[in-house]
A and B are shown apart, each in its own frame.
Chain A
């Protein structure tokens, strides 16, 4: 019998003896055993027959989407009656800072979609589906952009292999191809929209379609009015005109979003992925929570909220190359 087994045997014996002692001693008293113990930081719960991870998360964490926290902490996929579950009620590892490693979250940036065309910016349906299936098979967890920002702001934890899906919309294909595939997998995503491009004519999205996606839980982000490169001042443009033009590219669409969807977006995607300090200062002044570039790489929690990296996913990318985008940690610098 090795040390481990001996130890377990002794533990079991100890427990049995204690159990006997306790039940022996207390048989006169009626035992009112609460199935739950709760404090500010934890709840320790004995699951009833009706409990699931989601119902437990809803009850103790006030958010069924936090079921993953319970699953991860207890190393389980589901609960059954009699299971003892420890539920951290406050974040226990913000930022995913461990000794020597820091959690990072990759963000994907898709542009065009199509039923059957593949090129630099267009991915065909079958390939997009294969990529979403890949995420599922690998156990990667797509999270919504606002959850990602909760992680960036050091307010909430994110699942160990979290990823973010974003789409820089260029047309109706977002609605026809991307949207149904995302729904099939139940994956959250954010579509960044340049409002001039939402004309409803020809191949463009219509506001009705944007509304449908929004109501189905797809995040809608801001991507200017005319898709102008905000860092490029035209030769004959005065500095004053330039500032007015950029500010207009931010404020006019926000008003339109409010009219069409009832809210203005918190998040911004730079046209062509480029930015500078002037643009960032105007974004901050206009109360955007964050902005995303097209700089490749992955994001630790301390990434600047206005310089989030995204990996473009060209339509011609193979699954092997796709796999390389998923970097979930980097060397830490603790101790």
Chain B
């Protein structure tokens, strides 16, 4: 027994003094042990894992060292050295991760997102359980989707939409995004989310010329966002391929598909595809023809189904005198008027008897039935403004 122990010590010493080959790692050593076919390989494996862990730690690879100490503990739960080392390493890595995140956050908040990026990545690498950096990496390097708006005294969703978008129609969007209804009162200091409404994001990230055929009218807010988007564009490096605008080959293919959809009675899809072609080549006569034909057939289909307002929406997109569309248009207009006029007149009655709320209700109903009732739209706007003024008193 004594001779065995001493030869063990001698061999161990000899082995440890020979320089470790660069390539052999834990898996290589596992293979060696496998080949011995010992009945219980674990006592053989354990010291090797510890040795590897020590080597990793000496080389400064703390993550690898932690991995190896954990494996050692898996093999022998009672290994106090491994337990202590793992605990110390974990604490150290956690601290480093937190520090890197803090540095990154400071740089990010100081307007240096590119410099912050490395710190954010490092904090995740050092401690994957600390995911504080993740939302910054995900959402901090592309233009903001939502802005915060703090409600002030007297704000309504309509007035906020008017302020932010220059368009009271944005009210609906605000209700959807914030899960509110138009009737909900807004408490001051409440923060509501306001989606950014602007041009195609993907094109802006590429920071090239604006999409052909689109009028360029950014709001003040949008141009600030655009500047921000431009700043990130070079690092985002999105190289967009817009099917309708790449080559005539794709335009042709799209047109062929549109024709197919038209033939299949899928008018809206045909319109979507021709719109795409026309956005690149507004002069494409074939696309225009398919589009007109689609809207014409769609209008007829909707009219037959009884969707009068929807039919009108298609009809107004046709050129004047397209086939016999004028006849259909007259029919649709007459029906819309017949359905909506009584509602409108009821609204007028309420207005004249100074029941503003009921007047607004009736005129909103009128527009639901006939969105093209110009008088109802104008009078509704007037009544709403009056109502808001009255509520403010």
Give A residues with C-beta under 8 Å from B.
3-4, 6-8, 10-22, 24-25, 31, 33, 37-39, 41-44, 46, 73-75, 82-84, 86, 91-92, 94-95, 97, 102, 112, 119-122, 154, 170, 194, 196-197, 199, 201-204, 225-229, 231-232, 234, 236, 238-241, 243-244, 247, 271-278, 280-282, 284-285, 293-297, 302-305, 307, 309, 312, 332-335
Pair B202/A42 contact, Cβ less than 8 Å: no
The residue that B125 contacts in the complex, of A7, A17, A25, A97, with Cβ under 8 A, is A97
The residue that B201 contacts in the complex, of A154, A229, A232, A277, with Cβ under 8 A, is A277
Pair B247/A120 contact, Cβ less than 8 Å: yes
A293-B202 contact, Cβ under 8 Å, with A15-B44, A97-B124, A121-B250: yes
Chain B residue nearest to A13 (CB atoms) is B11
Pair B273/A4 contact, Cβ less than 8 Å: no
Neighbouring A residues of B265 by C-beta, 8 Å: 199, 201
Chain A residue nearest to B86 (CB atoms) is A41
Distance in angstroms between the alpha carbons of A91 and B172 in the assembled complex:
44
Counting chain B residues whose Cβ lies within 8 A of the other chain, the interface size class is: 35 or more
Neighbouring A residues of B74 by C-beta, 8 Å: 37-39, 41-44
Query: Top 10 nearest A-B pairs by Cβ distance?
Result: A333-B118, A239-B169, A240-B169, A226-B268, A302-B137, A277-B196, A281-B195, A10-B15, A4-B21, A39-B74
Give B residues with C-beta under 8 Å from A.
1, 4-5, 7-8, 11-12, 14-15, 18-21, 23-24, 26-27, 29-30, 32-34, 36-45, 67, 70-71, 73-77, 117-118, 121-122, 124-125, 128, 131, 134, 137-139, 141-146, 165, 167, 169-173, 176-177, 193, 195-203, 205, 237-244, 246-247, 249-250, 252-253, 257, 260-261, 263-266, 268-269, 271-273, 275-276, 279, 316-317, 371
A24-B15 contact, Cβ under 8 Å, with A17-B7, A17-B8, A334-B125: no
Pair A297/B15 contact, Cβ less than 8 Å: no
Chain B residue nearest to A239 (CB atoms) is B169
A25-B1 contact, Cβ under 8 Å, with A197-B269, A239-B169: yes
Pair B240/A227 contact, Cβ less than 8 Å: no
Pair B237/A297 contact, Cβ less than 8 Å: yes
Q: A4-B21, A231-B201 are in contact. List 6 more A-B contacts (CB 8 A).
A: A94-B124, A121-B253, A201-B264, A203-B260, A274-B242, A295-B238
A82-B266 contact, Cβ under 8 Å, with A8-B32, A273-B243, A333-B118: no
The residue that B128 contacts in the complex, of A31, A154, A284, with Cβ under 8 A, is A154
Neighbouring B residues of A305 by C-beta, 8 Å: 138
Nearest CB of chain A from residue B278's CB, rounded to whole Å: 10
For B43, B244, B268, the residue with the greatest tally of chain A CB atoms inside 10 Å of its CB is B268
Nearest CB of chain A from residue B211's CB, rounded to whole Å: 9
Pair B122/A275 contact, Cβ less than 8 Å: no
Nearest CB of chain B from residue A288's CB, rounded to whole Å: 13
Neighbouring B residues of A38 by C-beta, 8 Å: 74
29 A-B contacts, Cβ less than 8 Å apart?
Answer: A4-B23, A7-B24, A10-B14, A37-B74, A73-B27, A84-B30, A84-B45, A86-B27, A97-B124, A97-B125, A102-B121, A119-B253, A225-B268, A229-B272, A234-B317, A236-B317, A239-B167, A272-B242, A272-B244, A276-B198, A276-B201, A277-B144, A277-B145, A281-B193, A285-B176, A294-B241, A295-B205, A295-B241, A307-B238
